[in-house]
């Protein structure tokens, strides 16, 4: 077991990373050793990254202990780069972390300065100068490369900058030059943000944290109000929204809500979140309140403006969409379903349930054709069981008649009439293995119950008697 | 004399108050309407009432006797309860509810309500035991599957919420709420709340109680539905096809209504015309011998064994001497 991380006091005693635990205990017997938990560390880093969303939507995680923030165009919102850097450093250190940071025109240079120099801002014209005095390890190279460079006497980046490039590339590979160019800004280095960047977003920073749900919803409504102009200017409406709540102590909550139709109306956007709050009520720990609230539009779609007619039929459709959205927001998108008919003669495959949200959107685009009528078939039952239920038949006519009596759910039914069989073969172009044919019968028992029974397979095949199943009930 | 007049006046005032509380039409006006309705089916004897005046706010069943008992039809702004005695009868009860929905769509063929979908809110337990509504079967039954939405909330509280929200949105032609039995969390208070919501929105709510007992609720009408043997399929020459299963039939009992006597009637549902018709006892299929209209051979039944040794290979001709 080795030490992987140290706190300040341990560093003062003179312990080092990579030291064996036994040796460290010998140096300092009262040492507290805690086992490393990479997953928890990662979670913490993610949480800090979430928190950093307040500065810029472009936050990327770097390794085990770093974050890249792309602050292009954001700095002025915080009073300039100095103020921004100071704000970040002070706030994170108040949260109890040892933090360093740097701002420069290249991610590689910021990385190097933050880790091997003091926290500062490097102006674009002084990039090479800032880099020259740093050790070569600041270039994010592999350990062997760093060791080889040291052996060659190339200890500082300045030595590399002044050395001829071709021999360096030959000796240490293209990676070295790439890192070097990235650090001085000759090669663009993209940072990939952790989350998709919102198309549009609006936020409010509050002097006094809010706690009450109504206040949050009221603010969400105001944010939606301010997004409306942007949506209108682009001719779009939002399909998927996200409300970010930054709690005073650094916790960040993300609440997503979708809509079946592109939305612009602030009151409807706010009502989506009202339903979401109703659903997640217990999971949202308000604590000491939220200090920043942001509303993002994650997905959008063209908004076809429609004029309501005098009868108000448009309002009708609108209210259906609003209802669908409310249910989806509170109970999940799968709770409310419509049906899509498909070209298949296998009963359970001929109908596919699809979420009502998708249904409304797709119907708007294409009319639906009736897929179930492509072939001749007998009547289908009103209700179908999710899984066909095994029934015990007492006497069935061989080879292809209905049973005379059968026991289903422990009740004996005497068959008075039957229609059938309707033979449905398996769809060999879909099935993996060969399924037996089904002979369906519409059966009425003596009390007037009408059932849909089928026999799976034929008599006299494979030596076993085929089973009978209950698949549905008629009216 | 004057005293009697005053007393009558008080009585009328009280009646009006009661009517208002119950959400009924004012008695004096209702009585007049009732008379005109009541003598019409009498003239047409027992049979299909051709067409009652299409009243707004009512869904006439189309069968004189029943419409009289319902005072014109099912109210379209109220809660109506449809009850089956056991889960085995779930098919019949759901059939009756969906038939009413189909009829409502047919009645309102050119208004907004025709375009509005039907919402089916299924209780998890009831769905597990009675099956999922099947879109193709529903379209065979006379309802557009495109205009059918199904909600499957996990808990009863959620189901009640969905029902209330759906009624409030007025986006649905009819909302059908299916519950299993008599859950404790769905009592008089909840049904009153839903009934008021339906009244405010002017949309009907059918409460489909599968396998439940009679219990006090705010439903104006309560039916109990049992399955009945279906009449045989009619043939073009007027006779029927023996042993066949024709239009579905239900035995309805109007358990709760403003008429004190419960009314029992057997109806069949014609999905093509979207029309109910009473089934007379003479039409009941009586067929001791005829049991199947299937295409199979009528051979003696055998269980658990093939009735004859299977021939190997292709049989060309049978051996006569054998």
Q: Considering only CB atoms, which chain A residues are within 8 Å of B135?
A: 339, 341, 351, 372
Identity of the highest mean pLDDT range in B227-241, B286-300, B302-316: B227-241
DSSP H helix total and E strand total for chain B: 9, 12
- For residue A410, give the chain B residue with the closest CA: B88
Put simply, the answer to whether A335 touches B151 (Cβ < 8 Å) is yes
Residue B8, in any domain of the structure: no
| Sequence-ordered list of residues with C-beta below 8 angstroms from that of A16, at least 6 positions apart, any chain | A3, A6
Q: Considering only CB atoms, which chain A residues are within 8 Å of B294?
A: 400-402, 418-421, 441
Q: Which two tokens stand for residue A346?
A: 């296998």
Decide if A465 touches B, using CB distance below 8 A.
Answer: yes
Tokens 């069989």, residue located: A421
Decide if B112 touches A, using CB distance below 8 A.
Answer: yes
- Of residues B310 and A186, the one with the higher pLDDT is A186
Identity of the highest mean pLDDT range in A47-51, A159-163, A164-168: A47-51
From the list B143, B144, B206, B208, the residue with the least C-alpha distance to B175 is B206
Tell me the residue range of the domain where B73 lies.
Answer: 58-283
pLDDT band at B26 (very low <50, low <70, confident <90, very high): low
Q: Considering only CB atoms, which chain B residues are within 8 Å of A475?
A: 91-92, 94-96, 98-99, 141, 248, 250, 269
pLDDT at A460 > cutoff 90: no
Q: Considering only CB atoms, which chain B residues are within 8 Å of A344?
A: none
From the list A428, A415, A430, A416, the residue with the least C-alpha distance to A468 is A415
Decide if A319 touches B, using CB distance below 8 A.
Answer: yes
Put simply, the answer to whether A383 touches B250 (Cβ < 8 Å) is no
**Residue A463: its pLDDT value, please?**
67
What is the tally of structural domains in chain B?
1
Decide if B107 touches A, using CB distance below 8 A.
Answer: no
Contact B50, B64 (CB under 8 A): no
Average pLDDT, chain A: 85
Mutate to test the interface with B, among A317, A377, A417, A463 (most CBs of B within 10 A): A417
What's the rounded Cα separation, in Å, for the pair A417 and A403? Answer: 10
pLDDT at A371 > cutoff 70: no
pLDDT at A399 > cutoff 80: no
pLDDT tens readout for residues B260-274: 777 889 999 998 888
Burial class (CB in 10 A: 0-12, 13-18, 19+), A24: buried
Decide if A80 touches B, using CB distance below 8 A.
Answer: no
| Sequence-ordered list of residues with C-beta below 8 angstroms from that of A365, at least 6 positions apart, any chain | none
- Tell me, what's the ipTM? 0.74
Residue ranges of chain A that CATH labels 3.30.1490.100: 200-329
Q: Is the peptide bond before B264 cis (omega within 30 degrees of 0)?
A: no
Contact A316, A306 (CB under 8 A): no
Bridge partners, residue A464, by sequence: none
What's the rounded Cα separation, in Å, for the pair A380 and A13? Answer: 81
What's the rounded Cα separation, in Å, for the pair A217 and A201? Answer: 16
Decide if A132 touches B, using CB distance below 8 A.
Answer: no
Put simply, the answer to whether B131 touches A472 (Cβ < 8 Å) is yes
Question: Nearest CA to CA, how far is A372 from chain B (Å)?
Answer: 7
In the A/B pair of chains, how many CB contacts fall below 8 A?
A: 232
Contact B228, A446 (CB under 8 A): no
Question: Nearest CA to CA, how far is B258 from chain A (Å)?
Answer: 28
Put simply, the answer to whether A381 touches B128 (Cβ < 8 Å) is no
Mutate to test the interface with A, among B148, B171, B178, B225 (most CBs of A within 10 A): B171
**Residue B233: its pLDDT value, please?**
86
- What single DSSP character describes residue A286? -
Contact A255, A223 (CB under 8 A): no
pLDDT at B89 > cutoff 50: yes
Instruction: Write phi, then psi, for A177 (nearest 5 degrees).
Output: -70, -35
Q: Considering only CB atoms, which chain A residues are within 8 Å of B303?
A: 393-396, 465
Helix (H) or strand (E) holding B224: strand B221-228
What's the rounded Cα separation, in Å, for the pair B250 and A447? Answer: 11
Contact A296, A289 (CB under 8 A): no
Residue ranges of chain A that CATH labels 3.40.1170.60: 1-36
Residue B264, in any domain of the structure: yes
pLDDT band at B287 (very low <50, low <70, confident <90, very high): very low
pLDDT band at A326 (very low <50, low <70, confident <90, very high): confident
pLDDT tens readout for residues A341-370: 888 888 888 888 888 887 776 665 444 445
Mutate to test the interface with A, among B131, B147, B279 (most CBs of A within 10 A): B131
**Residue B48: its pLDDT value, please?**
39
pLDDT band at B100 (very low <50, low <70, confident <90, very high): very high
Put simply, the answer to whether A320 touches B151 (Cβ < 8 Å) is no
CATH node for A1-36? 3.40.1170.60
**Helices A174-184 & A143-151 angle (0-180, nearest 10):** 90
- Of residues A280 and A360, the one with the higher pLDDT is A280
Burial class (CB in 10 A: 0-12, 13-18, 19+), A207: exposed
CATH number at residue B255: 3.40.50.300
Chain CA centroid to CA A172, Å: 40
Chain CA centroid to CA A273, Å: 18
pLDDT band at B75 (very low <50, low <70, confident <90, very high): confident
CATH node for A200-329? 3.30.1490.100
What's the rounded Cα separation, in Å, for the pair A147 and B74? Answer: 89
**Residue A172: its pLDDT value, please?**
84
What's the rounded Cα separation, in Å, for the pair B225 and B254? Answer: 9
| Mean pLDDT, residues A224-251 taken together | 89
| Mean pLDDT, residues B251-263 taken together | 84
Contact B92, B250 (CB under 8 A): yes
**Residue B208: its pLDDT value, please?**
92
- For residue A459, give the chain B residue with the closest CA: B306
Number of other residues whose CB lies within 10 A of the CB of residue A166: 9
Residue B33, in any domain of the structure: no
**Residue A309: its pLDDT value, please?**
55
Give percent of chain A with pLDDT exceeding 70: 93
């Amino acid at each position: 077991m080795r030490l992987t991380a140290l706190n300040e006091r341990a560093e003062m005693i003179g312990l080092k990373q990579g030291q064996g635990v036994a040796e460290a205990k010998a140096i300092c017997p009262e040492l507290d050793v805690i086992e490393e938990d990479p997953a928890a560390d990662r979670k913490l880093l993610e949480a800090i990254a979430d928190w950093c969303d307040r500065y810029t939507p472009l936050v990327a995680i770097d390794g085990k202990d770093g974050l890249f923030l792309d602050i292009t165009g954001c700095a002025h919102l915080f009073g300039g780069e100095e103020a921004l850097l100071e704000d970040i450093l002070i706030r994170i250190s108040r949260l109890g972390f040892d933090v360093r940071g740097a701002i420069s025109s290249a991610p590689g240079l910021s990385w190097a300065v933050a880790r091997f120099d003091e926290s500062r801002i490097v102006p674009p014209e002084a990039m090479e100068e800032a880099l020259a005095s740093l050790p070569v390890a600041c270039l994010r190279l592999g350990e062997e490369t760093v060791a080889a460079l040291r052996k060659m006497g190339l200890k500082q980046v300045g030595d590399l900058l002044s050395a001829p490039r071709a021999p360096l590339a030959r000796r240490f590979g293209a990676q070295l030059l790439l890192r070097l160019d990235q650090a001085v800004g000759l090669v663009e280095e993209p940072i990939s943000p952790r989350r998709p960047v919102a198309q549009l977003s609006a936020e409010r920073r509050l002097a006094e944290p809010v706690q009450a749900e109504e206040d949050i919803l009221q603010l969400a409504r105001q944010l939606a109000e301010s997004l409306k102009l942007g949506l209108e200017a682009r001719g779009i409406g939002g399909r998927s929204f996200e409300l970010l709540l930054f709690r005073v102590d650094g916790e960040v909550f993300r609440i997503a809500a979708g809509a079946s139709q592109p939305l612009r109306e602030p009151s409807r956007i706010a009502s989506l979140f009202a339903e979401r709050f109703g659903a997640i009520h217990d999971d949202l720990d308000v604590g000491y309140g939220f200090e920043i609230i942001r509303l993002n539009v994650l997905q959008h779609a063209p908004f076809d403006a429609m004029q309501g007619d005098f009868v108000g039929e448009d309002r009708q459709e609108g209210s259906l969409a609003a209802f669908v959205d409310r249910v989806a927001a509170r109970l999940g998108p799968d709770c409310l379903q419509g049906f899509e008919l498909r070209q298949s003669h296998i009963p359970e495959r001929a109908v596919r349930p699809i979420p009502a949200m998708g249904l409304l959107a797709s119907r708007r685009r294409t009319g639906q054709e009736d897929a179930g009528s492509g072939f001749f078939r007998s009547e289908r039952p009103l209700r179908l069981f999710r899984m066909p239920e095994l029934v015990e038949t007492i006497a069935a006519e061989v080879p292809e008649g209905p049973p005379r009596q059968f026991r289903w759910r422990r009740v004996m039914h005497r068959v008075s009439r039957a229609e059938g069989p309707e033979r449905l073969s398996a769809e060999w172009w879909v099935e993996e293995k060969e399924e037996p044919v089904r002979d369906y019968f519409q059966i009425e028992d003596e009390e007037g119950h009408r059932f849909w029974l089928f026999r799976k397979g034929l008599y006299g095949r494979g030596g076993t008697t085929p089973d009978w199943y209950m698949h549905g009930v008629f009216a | 004399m004057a005293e009697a007049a005053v007393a009558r006046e008080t009585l009328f005032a009280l009646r009006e108050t009661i009517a208002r509380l119950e959400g009924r039409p004012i008695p004096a006006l209702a009585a007049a309407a009732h008379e005109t309705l009541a003598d019409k089916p009498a003239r047409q004897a027992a049979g299909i009432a051709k067409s009652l005046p299409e009243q707004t706010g009512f869904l006439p069943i189309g069968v004189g006797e029943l419409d009289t008992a319902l005072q014109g039809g099912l109210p379209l702004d109220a809660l109506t309860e449809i009850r089956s005695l056991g889960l085995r009868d779930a098919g019949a009860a759901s059939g009756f509810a969906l038939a009413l929905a189909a009829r409502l769509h047919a009645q309102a063929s050119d208004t907004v309500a025709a375009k509005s979908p039907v919402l089916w809110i299924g209780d998890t337990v009831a769905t597990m035991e009675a099956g999922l509504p099947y879109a193709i079967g529903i379209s065979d039954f006379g309802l557009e599957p495109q205009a059918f939405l199904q909600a499957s909330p996990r808990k009863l509280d959620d189901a009640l919420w969905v029902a209330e929200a759906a009624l409030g949105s007025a986006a649905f032609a009819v909302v059908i709420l299916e519950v299993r039995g008599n859950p404790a969390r769905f009592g008089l208070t909840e049904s009153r709340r839903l009934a008021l919501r339906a009244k405010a929105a002017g949309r009907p709510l059918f409460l489909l109680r599968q396998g439940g007992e009679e219990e006090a609720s705010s439903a104006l009408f309560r039916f109990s539905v049992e399955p009945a043997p279906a009449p045989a399929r009619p043939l073009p020459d007027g006779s029927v096809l023996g042993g066949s299963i024709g239009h579905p039939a239900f035995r309805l009992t109007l358990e709760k209504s403003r008429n004190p006597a419960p009314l029992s009637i057997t109806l069949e549902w014609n999905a093509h015309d979207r029309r109910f018709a009473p089934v007379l006892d003479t039409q009941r299929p009586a067929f001791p011998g005829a049991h199947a209209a299937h295409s199979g051979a009528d051979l003696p039944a055998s269980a658990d064994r093939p009735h004859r040794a299977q021939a190997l290979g292709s049989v060309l001709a049978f051996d006569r001497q054998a």
